[in-house]
Amino acid sequence: MPIARSLRLSYAQKLSLIAAIPLVVAVAAIAVFVTYEARATAEREIAALEARLIEAKRAELRNYVTQARNGFAHIYGRAPHDDDVAKAQVAQILAAMIYGKDGFFFVYDYDGTNLVSPRQTEFINRNWEGLTDSSGTPVVDEFIRLARRGGGWHSFMWQKPSTGEEAMMIAYVVGLQDWQWAVGTGVFIDDILATVANARAEVEGRVQRTFLYIGVIVMAALFIVFVSGMLLNIRERRLADAKLKDLTQRVFDAQEEERGRVARELHDGISQMLVGVRYALDNARRRLARGDHAAAQAPLDKGIEHLGTAITEVRRISRDLRPGVLDDLGLGPALKALTDDFSERTGIATEFATVPFRNRLDHDSKIALYRIAQEALTNIERHSFATNVSIDLRGHTKGATMRIADNGRGLPSRNEQSGAGLGLRNMQERIEQLDGTLRILSSRGAQSGTVIEVSLPLSHLLPPEEDATPKRKAAQ
């Protein structure tokens, strides 16, 4: 279990991992594509280089053979097909034509017998029909076939006279048809193959270095992403802690403010009423003790009146703390009772309109809208100097909307505000918890007033059958 707990990723690590995976995948795809393109381009260039070098060797071979034919043309041109003396002279001329470390001319008759091979004399006067190289490629038979056609090039593996090692050779062969000879020469292209191999090795080295550079860049990018994520996480955590402390303090302030309000209402209202009831009852008791029953009637009536007023005040405070009509009848009747009480208490003309919902709001939404309306009416009473207030509540295809408008003096400008109002912040936070929106429109002057519009998404509207409480059938 400790190992599994240590391997569990934190939120910041998960976030960094999510950010890093697309980066790694993208860079890997780019690296593969770049490598493929680089190798394909290099391979084309290497193939072109190899073709150019081989073509140069072929041109060189053709030039050698042309020079050799020019050297014995005066003999071959006048000699009949059975002139052995002329054949011997030509053979001597070709045997003497050696060049470089491994260059020589060879001659085979059409039967496959070697007539000239100055650097490998063991081949002379022996029949090599059917000879193949180490890879099974026909050699002498191909010479004869090309000679019969007039000439051509042939590539095969052959032993180098200078080292005895096998290497790739390109030979150019022409045919002396009157004598039925295959005359040719060849050059070894191991230097070309070595050049090509070096070029491929260099390309591979560049590709590996490119992968290394990409890997370093990716690691650096991942490090930057990780460090940035950690710094961002630390910063966001600090901001979240600061906001949490601020919210906690605001909750405490709101609690203290509500407790102070309740305490003031109890002390200034109910307590004074109950004291009046006590004095009235005490006065009635003294008069009854003196036997003056008629005089005791007035203080008793006054005490009963004060007691009724106290009961009404207790009910009002209870309704403000938690309106029972909201649970019993729903949001519409609760807002109606709230506006009626507000109008009666303040003398401000208040209108409430609603369209019955086909679907009803869930419990959290009802409380949020009621508290927002309650807070808005409190602000209107304290600050707006309005003479008319309207509240409109209705449901629609996108959710539900509550609109509260007054004709007061509007909200103060930013320069006049000492800070964001606690009531407005509470409204905003309540609606944000439900994924809703809060819009406040305010103006000052002849056409002054404030409009508060609250919208809730459709997800907070429930079908009627989901509300199983019988006493809530009349909601909305």
User: Would you say residue 109 has pLDDT above 90?
Assistant: yes
83 vs 92: CA distance, rounded Å: 15
Instruction: For 388-406, give one letter per residue: b (16+ CB within 10 A) or e.
Output: ebbbebebeeebbbbbbbb
User: Would you say residue 467 has pLDDT above 80?
Assistant: no
Average the pLDDT over 21-42 and give the result: 80
Q: Is 231 helix (H, G, I), strand (E, B) or coil?
A: helix
pTM of the predicted protein model: 0.45
pLDDT in tens, 53-91: 888 888 888 888 888 888 888 888 888 888 889 999 999
Q: Which residue has the higher pLDDT, 33 or 357?
A: 33
Pair 38, 203: CB distance under 8 Å: yes
pLDDT in tens, 347-397: 899 999 987 765 578 888 888 888 888 888 888 888 888 899 999 998 887
Going 260 to 264 to 270 to 271, the CA torsion angle's sign is: positive
125 vs 387: CA distance, rounded Å: 132
pLDDT in tens, 170-218: 999 999 999 999 999 998 888 887 888 888 888 888 888 887 888 888 7
171 vs 151: CA distance, rounded Å: 10
pLDDT in tens, 252-292: 776 777 777 677 767 667 777 788 888 788 888 888 888 87
Angle between helices 272-289 and 293-321 (to 10 degrees): 160
User: Would you say residue 304 has pLDDT above 70?
Assistant: yes
pLDDT of residue 363: 81
What tokens appear for 17 in the block?
A: 């991992």
**Same-fold call for 100-187 versus 324-413+422-466:** no
Q: Is 389 helix (H, G, I), strand (E, B) or coil?
A: strand
The residues with which 381 forms a beta bridge, in sequence order, are none
> Where do we find the tokens 């060189």?
60
The CATH fold of domain 100-187: Beta-Lactamase (3.30.450)
pLDDT of residue 219: 83
Q: Any residues with CB less than 8 A from the CB of 156 and at least 6 apart, and which?
A: 133, 137, 139, 142, 168, 169, 171
Q: What is the dihedral of CA 162, 164, 168, 172, to 10 degrees?
A: 60
- Helix extents (H) in 290-379: 293-321, 324-328, 331-346, 363-379
What tokens appear for 337 in the block?
A: 């009772």
Average the pLDDT over 445-472 and give the result: 69
The residues with which 132 forms a beta bridge, in sequence order, are 138
Q: Any residues with CB less than 8 A from the CB of 283 and at least 6 apart, and which?
A: 296, 299
> Where do we find the tokens 């934190």?
10
pLDDT of residue 390: 93
The CATH fold of domain 324-413+422-466: Heat Shock Protein 90 (3.30.565)
313 CB-contact burial (10 Å; exposed 0-12 / middle 13-18 / buried 19+): middle
The mean-pLDDT minimum among 97-101, 134-138, 279-283 falls in: 279-283
Structural domain boundaries in the chain: 100-187, 237-312, 324-413+422-466
453 membership: H or E segment, kind and range:
strand 449-457
pLDDT of residue 459: 78
